[in-house]
């Protein structure tokens, strides 16, 4: 089936009975930008080491970010995920988008009201500088909702017969979509916000009205914006909050079939014009639902493995490998398409999420008790913990390094959250500043904050400094990870290991990452006690790729792992 016919079929699935004339015009307008003959299977993201950052909090603007590209390249990063950069009132850290085809003026170093051509020069220069270093660039697009300051909403609110009224969802009956869960429990008390005699629907903050994808003009308007950034040379999009795109009465308004049709349309239109752009699903769901957002290789290319993150924390707290092994078993984690890829992470810009969508009540309680060290870190009434990685592990370099050993090697492509590579701490001053600015007590602001580069550079010069020690360890791990394709492309096989007396060692998480060309063995001591591990592959020669807290006993031919120690071993 041709790409064009496929797009028409998706259109008819979404909008039966509505003329395809608008789609005709849209495709005709974009055909001139199409790049013919490009190979569609471009899976560069399988070898990605992704670094997530806010441009302004990282180093002021795109000029400042260019200055730090050498730092990022040296760190071992080959893909940047730019947290929201589009024009926004910044009431939700940029996820409240005012204009989809504009970057915030302060990030560009331009005055408000700049010309679009000026944006293209500044941002285009940044993209060229990144690409010249072999660093790809993706960024966030919130496609479920806009800011209430978006021109579409400003028009929609004027009158019931405004042409943009149907870009959003309005009702006088707030029982509509009553089965839709309240995502921001403790912050918002309803999914409906009053405006005059009407209410508009929102799944997130009340100043973020949901878009109405039952209106085909919304689908085409969003597609137009994605294609604009694709034409600029962006390498991909993180599609924020995609499970909620389509709403139907009598459902929970999550993961509905037509939501998948919308995602397929976005993927198809991007491939139609220029294949190779990454579409990353941000779907806070169980893996069996998340894999559906990769479809049969025709939706998103990659998705976060959300349950794996809390289970890594639980495994380290328990000193037991079972939480991770169970989470990665077929019972929890289904197969993904050949072109698909899981993304692993320890921390991102949000809280350490403990939603019941992917943890049990027992897991939530256990993790919360072991990691929420201060009452103010509590998020959404026990559904998460707002704290930086170094704070969660009480600034224990051993556990920080161990957690990275897991995250970088178990499966998929890893995401490093800016500052975690040097053990950045919670930023309480930034938290208080943002409460003042937004009027919302959102404890996720604790895990954001600015980097003081002058202080950091001084810290990194002192080999005894906590930040320097964390940095050197993580940098070494990232660069080793990047050199071995098996970490991004290999199969994962968990191993049962024993001590020298034949007793099982459940506190050691051991696994092989294998391709036809490479085999790598990982041994991770999840406990606070030293362990001696009998060689699990005695017929093979092994050599060290990276380690922390590891030694080899030549007499007994056993591996010695210090508390929270680990080793990565090449196998021949």
Q: Which residues are catalytic?
A: 240, 282
CB contact at 8 A, 166 and 212 = yes
Q: How would you classify the pairing of strands 192-195 and 170-171?
A: unpaired
- Dist. CA 478–CA 476, nearest whole Å: 6
CA-wise closest residue to 140 among 279, 23, 300: 279
d(CA 456, CA 454): 5
Quote the CA–CA distance of 408 and 492 in Å, as a whole number: 13
Burial class (CB in 10 A: 0-12, 13-18, 19+), 41: exposed
What's the CA gap between 93 and 448, in Å, rounded? 10
548-559: b (≥16 Cβ within 10 Å) or e: bbbeeeeeeebb
CA-based radius of gyration for the chain? 24
Rounded CA-CA distance 226/101 in Å is: 9
**Residues 11/254/303/7 CA torsion (nearest 10 deg):** 0
**Cβ-proximal residues to 569 (8 Å cutoff; 6+ apart), any chain:** 520, 521, 522, 523, 542, 543, 544, 545
SS3 category, 304: strand
Q: Determine the distance from the C-alpha atom of residue 492 to the mean position of all C-alpha atoms in its chain, rounded to a whole number.
A: 21
Q: Which tokens is 570 given?
A: 């090449």
**How many residues can be counted in the chain?**
572
Whether 559 contacts 530, CB under 8 Å:
no
DSSP secondary structure of 263-282: HHHHHHHHHHH-TT-EEEE-
Task: Identify how many contiguous H helices and E strands the chain contains and give both numbers.
Answer: 20, 22
Q: Beta-strand (E) ranges in 50-191?
A: 50-53, 79-82, 86-87, 99-103, 136-142, 170-171
CB atoms within 10 A of CB 155: 14
């Amino acid at each position: 089936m041709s790409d064009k016919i496929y797009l028409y079929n998706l259109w008819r699935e979404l909008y039966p009975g509505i003329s395809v004339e608008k789609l005709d015009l849209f495709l005709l307008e974009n055909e001139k930008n199409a790049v013919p003959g490009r190979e569609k299977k471009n899976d560069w993201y399988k070898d990605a080491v992704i670094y997530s950052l806010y441009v302004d909090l990282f180093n002021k603007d795109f000029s400042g970010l260019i200055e730090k590209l050498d730092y990022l390249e040296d760190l071992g990063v080959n893909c940047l995920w730019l947290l929201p950069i589009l024009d926004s009132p910044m009431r939700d850290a940029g996820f409240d988008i005012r204009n989809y085809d504009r970057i915030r003026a302060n990030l560009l170093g331009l005055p408000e009201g700049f010309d679009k051509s000026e944006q293209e020069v500044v941002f285009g220069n940044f993209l060229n500088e990144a690409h010249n270093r072999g660093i790809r660039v993706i960024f966030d697009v919130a496609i479920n909702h806009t800011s209430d300051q978006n021109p579409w909403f400003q028009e929609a609110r004027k009158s019931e017969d405004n042409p943009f009224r149907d870009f959003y969802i309005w009702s006088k009956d707030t029982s509509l979509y009553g089965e839709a869960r309240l995502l921001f429990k403790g912050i918002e008390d309803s999914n409906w916000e009053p405006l005059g005699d009407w209410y508009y629907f929102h799944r997130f903050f009340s100043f973020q009205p949901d878009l109405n994808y039952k209106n085909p003009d919304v689908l085409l308007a969003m597609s137009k914006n994605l294609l604009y950034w694709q034409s600029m040379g962006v390498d991909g999009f993180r599609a924020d909050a995609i499970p909620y795109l389509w709403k139907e009465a009598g459902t929970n308004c999550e993961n509905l079939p037509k939501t998948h049709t919308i995602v397929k349309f976005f993927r198809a239109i991007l491939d139609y014009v220029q294949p190779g752009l990454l579409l990353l699903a941000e779907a806070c769901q169980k893996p069996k639902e998340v894999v559906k957002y990769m479809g049969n290789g025709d939706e998103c290319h990659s998705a976060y493995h959300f349950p794996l993150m809390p289970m890594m924390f639980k495994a380290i707290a328990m000193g037991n490998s079972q939480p991770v092994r169970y989470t990665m078993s077929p019972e929890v984690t289904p197969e993904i398409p050949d072109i698909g890829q899981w993304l692993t992470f320890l921390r991102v810009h949000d809280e350490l999420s403990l939603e019941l969508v992917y943890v049990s009540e027992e897991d939530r309680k256990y993790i919360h008790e072991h990691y929420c060290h201060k009452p103010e870190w509590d998020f959404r009434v026990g559904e998460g913990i707002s704290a930086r990685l170094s704070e969660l592990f009480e600034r224990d370099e051993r556990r920080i390094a161990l957690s990275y050993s897991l995250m970088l090697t178990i499966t998929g492509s890893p995401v490093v959250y800016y500052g975690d590579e040097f053990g950045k701490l919670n930023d309480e001053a930034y938290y208080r500043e943002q409460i003042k600015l937004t009027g919302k007590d959102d404890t996720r602001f604790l895990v954001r904050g600015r980097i003081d580069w002058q202080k950091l550079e001084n810290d990194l010069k002192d080999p005894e400094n906590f930040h320097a020690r964390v940095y050197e360890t993580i940098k070494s791990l990232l660069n080793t990870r990047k050199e071995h394709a098996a970490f991004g492309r290999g199969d994962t096989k968990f191993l049962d290991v024993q001590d020298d007396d034949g007793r099982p060692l459940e506190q050691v998480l051991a696994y092989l990452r294998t391709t036809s060309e490479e085999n790598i063995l990982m041994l991770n001591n999840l406990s606070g006690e030293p362990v001696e591990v009998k060689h699990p592959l005695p017929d093979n020669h092994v050599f060290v790729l990276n380690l922390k807290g590891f030694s080899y006993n030549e007499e007994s031919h056993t591996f010695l792992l210090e508390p929270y120690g680990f080793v990565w071993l090449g196998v021949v």
